[in-house]
Structure 1
Amino acid sequence: MTDVTTEKPALEPTGALSVETVLSVKHWNEHLFSFRITRPASFRFRSGEFVMIGLKGDNGKPLLRAYSVASPSWDEEIEFLSIKVQDGPLTSKLQLIQPGDQIYLGRKPTGTLVTDALLPGKRLFMLSTGTGLAPFLSLSRDPDVYEFYEQVVIVHSVRRVSDLAFRDDLEAKWAEDPLVSEQAPGQFHYVPTVTREPFEGNTQRIDALVESGALFAGIPGAAKFDPETDRIMMCGSMEMIKQFAAYFEGAGFTEGSNAAPGQFVIERAFVG
């Protein structure tokens, strides 16, 4: 009897895509995972940007989706955070990747969740749900962010405790990080909230935490958002982003872009 081993077909680079190698994969639970890939020497990006990644589709052509880069711009590897969708065209395949596998990486990162799209301020609040945490992982490990802002805050709302990806690193305020471990203990704040399971911390949605003032506990400054001092980034569910975009506009904040910096930004590529 012949032992037949099925090898995955090699990917071919294109003008828009390089072919990289998966270095490691971490499954946080049954519907959330992160993975690291090689970084080509020519790949440059700003912390907070997104890029197209993918695999070969059933038709033999690249099957691509936009993913925020979760690693900081100085990292020698590139990390991503993804959900698992069983019938998703890409994620149904992507969740099966293993170290050594090949993956497509776009050559041109872009995006608005960058400090260039914000006016100077004192506090940076990054509001996220689910995998919307990814760009803020990148930004919170960028030393420039700690030069631009006195306080750097990640708010992460999830349904279950196991959805709090990178929780240990965030609670430790990036203590092991080679570039921000000195600034982060005094400037970085992590505000997780779990809405569908018992949790020793916050258990309300972000809007309720804002209304009660609980979101600002332990953070120097006012227990409310102030357009004079606060800058906001949002990434995650459409419901959260649209709700807070309207909230901030009503509170006197202006939306920023790379061309015209403002007081809050969202990633429109993911909102539609």
Structure 2
Amino acid sequence: MNEPQIVSKFTYNATVKQLVEVTGEIRIFRIELDSDEYRFIAGQYAVLGLLKEAPRIPEAAEVEYRETTTDPMIRRAYSISSGSGDAHNLEFFISLVSSGALTPRLFALKRGDRLFVAPRAKGIFTVDKVPEEKNVLMVATGTGLAPYISMLRSEVLANQGRQIAIIHGASYSWDLGYRRELESLNATQKNFTYLPVISRPHDDPSWSGKTGRLPPILDEAQLDHYCGFQVDPLSCHIFLCGNPLMIEDAEERLVGRGFKADKGRVRGTLHMEKY
């Protein structure tokens, strides 16, 4: 009689099924879990891990961040971008930090390689706390877009009575992950609007869309027009995800307009997740 396999916190329990290179430093990881019982709410994150002896990409910085724990595995939290209806596959939108401990190892993975996924997703950055009749503006920089993709794929667009807008900022147009998917939704879904923005147009001369930093855009008189609905705290909730400096700047502007930060038990109309 075979003994049941014991899965510990040091055991790899998932396989890389597909890698999609957005740019050399931004990648989409599609992972198949050994178990088909993984459950999460759109907007939550999972902890990924690799053993410290796992190889790093050659482009990684010579000096890397050193772990101070005795844990033989390096673990980091990443927002899930896949829809919550699939209990066997997960997707992640990850940016390389060349001096980091984990991402240079993650970027060295190839199709078929193994890694660790913590058994439970965590996080309260979820849209389920927003009343169904309220519109939602989602603002993100870089890979902070990931939880919004999960929300869109999982449940948000099923509520046709709610208007949703995503404003996504990146340095260059080629950094705008999921752009084709979002442009398609923008063209086909009456209750969805997508506004991509780049901050370095001088280095991206082919770009003809919106440019600038995201926080000042939230003060523009045309914001309601960009979103397709009135952006005010009585009828709208706002989500902010990504660069901490962007979030701090945007929070100050939005609180000044009457939005209130959501802090778990203290409910508000402004939801934030810093990367």
- TM-score per shorter chain, which class? 0.7 to 0.9
* Contact residue 38 and residue 78 of structure 1 kept, 8 A: yes
* Residue aligning to 2:113: 101
Q: 1:264 aligns with which of 253, 270, 273?
A: 270
In structure 1, distance between residues paired with 2:161 and 2:7: 39
Q: Does 1:70 align with 2:65?
A: no
Q: 2:236 aligns with which of 230, 236, 243?
A: 230
What secondary structure sits across from 1:137 in the alignment? helix
* Residue aligning to 2:62: none
Q: Look up the equivalent residue of 1:45 and give its one-letter code.
A: F
In structure 1, distance between residues paired with 2:32 and 2:144: 22
Among all aligned residue pairs of Structure 1 and Structure 2, give the percentage whose two residues are the same amino acid. Answer: 28
Give CA-to-partner distance per residue, 1:109-132, whole Å, 9 cap, x none.
111220234345431011000110
- How far is the alpha carbon of 1:261 from its aligned partner? 3.1
Give CA-to-partner distance per residue, 1:119-164, whole Å, 9 cap, x none.
4543101100011011011011123554285211111000011100
Compute the RMSD of aligned alpha carbons.
2.3
Q: Does 1:34 align with 2:22?
A: no
Unmatched segments (≥5 aa) in structure 1: 1-11, 176-183
* Residue aligning to 2:146: 134
Q: TM-score, normalised by structure 2?
A: 0.82
In structure 1, distance between residues paired with 2:31 and 2:91: 6
Q: TM-score, normalised by structure 1?
A: 0.83
Q: 1:239 aligns with which of 239, 245, 250?
A: 245
* Residue aligning to 1:24: 18
What secondary structure sits across from 1:34 in the alignment? strand
* Residue aligning to 2:208: 200
Q: Does 1:43 align with 2:38?
A: yes
CA change 1:117–1:228 in 2 (3 A) is same
In structure 2, distance between residues paired with 1:13 and 1:63: 17
* Contact residue 51 and residue 67 of structure 1 kept, 8 A: yes
- How far is the alpha carbon of 1:218 from its aligned partner? 5.0
Give CA-to-partner distance per residue, 1:10-59, whole Å, 9 cap, x none.
xx842597610010001111111111001332210000101111211138
* Residue aligning to 1:5: none
In structure 2, distance between residues paired with 1:140 and 1:16: 33
- How far is the alpha carbon of 1:264 from its aligned partner? 1.3
User: 1:152-167, aligned counterparts within 5 Å?
Assistant: 152-167=164-179
Q: 1:254 aligns with which of 260, 266, 269?
A: 260
4+ residue runs of structure 1 moved beyond 4 angstroms?
Answer: 15-18
Q: 2:8 aligns with which of 14, 24, 34?
A: 14
